[in-house]
Structure 1
């Protein structure tokens, strides 16, 4: 993305967020995201619909022997009849579905919202199918009606668009949002009169992601239930490389791993010069989420990007109501909530998923690990974010489960992360990478070697930068450094241990550390550069320098006291 495109997106972010943030005085942070994201969704689908209309209109008027859409003017007696025919043809639903564009009924189009929202309450808007007058009840009702109409016409969206009337927002507030959003276009981006090459889904995806991050910040601790930092998601996806197969996330939040997998395919398609849309046909997305509003957010996130998905029949608890019981996925990726205490139910006591030991009732960390392993295909690989305690805890059977996982040779790589990466918790985190085929015997990846009995540790705690006073983030170079190290180790080409960063060990090494998987125990300390000065001489020099600084500090303190004394302040 060039600087002009980045500038455009930054201005768009700031503009839309400033407008949306005005709702904060009227709504809790947990609620106003549904209002804002619902309106953004309506604006996008309407823009995409209108763009398709413009394309169709051009096709209807273009006389070309290969153009099946051509509508000859000579077939009509008058211009009026011709225009009526064009208008009628533009309302044919199949023209939109064939281009993977959502059908937007007239009552749900943005132009309708903008026009009707400013009318006096009680004004007649249109007539229903029975010929009865439909009157304006409120602006929130008008928006809900639009969402309902879109759901009726698009089966993929049924039951996932959150209604906003329940939040009882003032009409003027919503009219202000509609007016602000009206000044943006997802299909014709330009900056300073320059038309940009950004695709509408890219713009919408960026805005959606930005807003989820901002809402997570605003909500604090609870916000993380649907948002995982983009750089962490990208890191896991880049390490697992989900080119094709079944991708599963049993704690999907808003579906960030699926979005990142889609972006991964697109970026690597550019590098390899193949068709990303064709490659996407080889990916199937499966997810589960217990929170009903977050489940809807995830479904909407997929729908706006054109990603086919299976999120089960409803929101549900992954442990108690597994929506994909028979699934065996090629890639499993998740950021489940850390250290969940109230997850247990007696019906889980002898569950088939606890192959490596029954998880403690007071902590779900190893329940998530085993649930994901249960759903992993024989050649599958998985990455899971967990609290650091999972690498070393020996309480309530956790140590025994970890030992079994290591002895069964399922653990492939451990990555220690820096602090302050998450908006919702300060708990230090790590990433576990596991696989059922370290032998590479079934050759899912021809480049990989037989890695049985080997384990890779990466200490990434020194990577990243402070993006603001609170949050840390990874750069693209940081992500590439970790992912490349992992792939070089997997393939046996170009890998070498780096003190303080990475180390390849065997089972005996891990046994010596009592099956603790903390990378810092294995990678050692970072090598210090030798500046050529002998230690004794350096110590003497630094000690003398410190004494001089202490003396100077005492002199300055005495000078300050004298000056203050002259002003009448006794010290």
Structure 2
């Protein structure tokens, strides 16, 4: 008997709610996703066993049956064999996960994360029993739940966990409308490779696969790659991809800026057709001390306290020659901040790598209420966009929701159309578009603040845009004045180090 989407979501959320009280909602994902994944592979293994038995009957042997199974489940690791134990249940589950990972080293090593299942202070046994009882009420084998249904259920949980987690959600979840917009802009095609250097729960990679499949194209030839610094989140990403029936993927755990995991035979960062990410905004302590000699710093070393341009340069370095393109979510500060970032920004524009700046509505994200933007880079820009940058203002394309603003499907279509064509849709006044020449950007000292080039539609963003332009202008004047002053002091023989200015 199959189950409906609504029934599945209801039961999955009931399982999560079983933890409410003793467990912080921000930690629900740590326990619920491993249990969901275990229940799925266990129920599926039983279904595969029964299918093999139906096909071969008494002639079935271990060698024949192995061909029916996607994963190996050692004796005593099935859901029904473990969850009925009455003593030290949490510790038994932890041992079971280790046995399953060990039996499937190629695909499942480390996939269950590092939760302390035997720690009854963190996870009281009564909560664990309630969690098991909730999962007992739903079968997760192919006869009951399709991959599409299960994948949608997983996304439902991710969204709900993000809503429950508040600002912490930004570490693992990007609003799906932003993901859809990014994927729509990059247009992944069958046979291509797609890479997310800060992949979180894997949502952008899943959306890439889904878009190709929904377009009626062969999604099975796509290859997806990701790196994630957080162990639990990296595990969630791998489970997410498996549950969406995606097999050709590679998710590695680690710090992308300090230790990029994907390299070629010569030790350089590996390149991909599409590079897509929503990195942590303005990350401090990102590893600037290692970058002066790093080839990825081809336009300069970003400030030690702000890693935005480190992620940007890493992604561009990971962009395949000719076919490569990058779509990255960034705070507006990268458009106008001075110092080392201004020099990097100028370098990228002079190299004609930046294709577009797409302004997003305010209050879309869990981690911040400030508006963000999407920067699009291409190794080879089309002829009409060479030596120019396309600006798209999408700041007014939203509807207000409970705690955050939300973009509708129409909003996303309007912005994708504006990016693709360089023109607003017919009768659309809320998506201003303008192709700006290199010379005009140069005349503005390579400042990319959207409101310098087109009228910003949303009132909230307009106020911010005006403030940012005023700030950038005032800051530039101050820097110019300081330069004149320090030159005069140096000419007078005064030691500038007392002002914190290094001697040159």
Tell me the TM-score normalised to structure 2 length.
0.81
1:355-375: CA deviations, max 9, x gaps?
112211121111111111111
Q: Are the equivalent residues in 1 in contact too, given 2:397–2:430 (CA < 8 A)?
A: no
Q: 1:90 to 1:141 in 2, by over 3 A?
A: farther
Aligned to 2:227: 288
Distance 1:374 1:173 in 2: 47
Secondary structure of 2:330's match? strand
Q: How does 1:160-559 map to 2 (within 5 A)?
A: 160-162=111-113, 163-168=115-120, 169-187=123-141, 200-243=146-189, 244-269=191-216, 274=217, 276=218, 279-281=219-221, 283-305=222-244, 306-312=246-252, 315-326=253-264, 327-379=270-322, 380-394=324-338, 396-439=339-382, 450-467=384-401, 469-489=402-422, 501-524=432-455
Which of 1 and 2 has greater Rg?
A: 1
Q: Are the equivalent residues in 2 in contact too, given 1:228–1:256 (CA < 8 A)?
A: yes
Q: Are the equivalent residues in 2 in contact too, given 1:332–1:383 (CA < 8 A)?
A: yes
Q: Are the equivalent residues in 1 in contact too, given 2:272–2:318 (CA < 8 A)?
A: yes
Q: 1:39 to 1:470 in 2, by over 3 A?
A: same
Deviation at 1:320, TM superposition (A): 1.6
Distance 1:500 1:259 in 2: 27
Deviation at 1:333, TM superposition (A): 0.6
Q: 1:483 to 1:525 in 2, by over 3 A?
A: closer
Q: Are the equivalent residues in 1 in contact too, given 2:387–2:438 (CA < 8 A)?
A: yes
Q: 1:340 to 1:525 in 2, by over 3 A?
A: closer
Deviation at 1:350, TM superposition (A): 2.8
Deviation at 1:487, TM superposition (A): 2.1
Secondary structure of 1:359's match? coil
Aligned to 1:78: none
Q: Are the equivalent residues in 2 in contact too, given 1:42–1:110 (CA < 8 A)?
A: yes
Aligned to 1:47: 43
> Which of 102, 112, 118 is the equivalent residue of 2:81?
112
Q: 1:166 to 1:483 in 2, by over 3 A?
A: farther
Q: Are the equivalent residues in 2 in contact too, given 1:415–1:432 (CA < 8 A)?
A: yes
Aligned to 1:548: none
Deviation at 1:158, TM superposition (A): 1.1
Secondary structure of 2:321's match? strand
Kindly report the root-mean-square deviation, in angstroms, between the aligned alpha carbons of the 2 structures: 2.8
Secondary structure of 1:104's match? coil
Q: Are the equivalent residues in 2 in contact too, given 1:366–1:398 (CA < 8 A)?
A: yes
User: Which stretches in structure 1 are left out of the alignment for 5+ residues?
Assistant: 61-70, 72-81, 122-137, 191-198, 440-448, 528-571
Distance 1:139 1:24 in 2: 19
Deviation at 1:53, TM superposition (A): 3.2
Deviation at 1:90, TM superposition (A): 9.5
Distance 1:454 1:280 in 2: 36
Q: 1:496 to 1:382 in 2, by over 3 A?
A: farther
Aligned to 2:484: none
Secondary structure of 2:248's match? coil
Distance 1:41 1:512 in 2: 56
Deviation at 1:263, TM superposition (A): 0.7
Distance 2:271 2:249 in 1: 16
Secondary structure of 2:385's match? coil
Secondary structure of 1:338's match? coil
Q: Are the equivalent residues in 2 in contact too, given 1:500–1:524 (CA < 8 A)?
A: no
Distance 2:427 2:404 in 1: 31
Q: 1:453 to 1:27 in 2, by over 3 A?
A: same
Tell me the TM-score normalised to structure 1 length.
0.72
Q: Given the alignment of the two structures, is residue 153 of structure 1 paired with residue 108 of structure 2, yes or no?
A: no
Distance 2:62 2:378 in 1: 53
Deviation at 1:462, TM superposition (A): 1.0
